[in-house]
Amino acid sequence: MSQVLISARDLAESLLGRNPPSILDCRARLGDGDAGRRLWEAGHVPGSLHLDLDRDLAAEPGESGRHPLPSREAFTGTLQRLGISPHVPVVVLDDMGGQLAAARAWWMLAVWAGHPDVRVLDGGLRAWQEEGGELVLGQEVRPEPSRWQPSFDDRAIMSADEVFSGRELKLDARSEERFRGEVEPIDPVAGHIPGAVCRPSSANLTETGRFKTPEVLDGELPRDEAVVAYCGSGVTACHNVLAYTIAGRPLPRLYPGSWSEWIRDPSRPVAHGGLR
């Protein structure tokens, strides 16, 4: 899983090759479930298909958090509808350096579902346009459905009880202010899981919105025998999992429910302040 990023230039070249990738546009805005579709309709990479954060990459919010994983059956249906198969490479993108839904899509496809060739467009839509890539309008072309039946790997996931009782390093991808409990714009309780370390997903990127080099990430990412990644709802946490992969480190496991699930049980402890 060493090749997890693709440049805009390489993506453009691959579209002219014999086995062009399936491109999934994962743009989204938290709090606006229709924004991703509107953004896609306003202009998208030629041939790309819209992949929706709330409808395709998550189940309905509830006791398992704001963006719980969909069932295996539901996600399999999404992949088949989009024509995704292990024989065709996949490129996922958003317009936030992968911090929002692109990293989540990468994790669900590559780590959870086991697709052998999924890459994130480094720099996202901005990089595509800076390289001279065009954006097109028009109706989505319906691909030929696939019959892929993924072999899901639930070992990549941790439950709230496992996080509570486990010794893994808990890595929080939210901002430092949210981690400390100084602000909480989304969830009803502020703070973080006790013992956690703050690693904002934005710290994985340069000022241009591209990932830092493997060497820089390897020097910055916290080290421990085992790591579990979480955030507000299990979305930006995937960005930290991706960063560990780029750095050549063992993959952290993901706590999909994250903070939005953790705080639903008042018996679970909550910490404030600090960055650890």
The domains spanning 5-130 and 157-262 adopt the same CATH topology = yes
pLDDT tier, 266 (very low <50, low <70, confident <90, very high otherwise)? very high
Q: What is the pLDDT of residue 144?
A: 95
Residues of the chain above pLDDT 70, percent: 99
pLDDT tens readout for residues 186-215: 999 999 999 999 999 999 999 999 999 999
For the domain spanning 157-262, the CATH number is 3.40.250.10
Q: Which CATH architecture has domain 5-130?
A: 3-Layer(aba) Sandwich (3.40)
pLDDT at 90 over 80: yes
pLDDT tier, 100 (very low <50, low <70, confident <90, very high otherwise)? confident
Alpha-carbon distance 35 to 52, whole Å? 9
pLDDT tens readout for residues 136-184: 997 777 899 999 999 999 999 999 999 999 999 999 999 999 999 999 9
Across 49-60, average pLDDT = 97
Q: What is the pLDDT of residue 165?
A: 95
Residue tagged active-site, from 26, 198, 231, 238 = 231
Residues of the chain above pLDDT 90, percent: 92
Active site residue 231: yes
pLDDT tier, 98 (very low <50, low <70, confident <90, very high otherwise)? confident
The residue behind tokens 């019959």 is: 147
Domain parsing of the chain, residue ranges: 5-130, 157-262
pLDDT tens readout for residues 72-84: 999 999 999 999 9
pTM: 0.96
Q: What is the pLDDT of residue 138?
A: 74
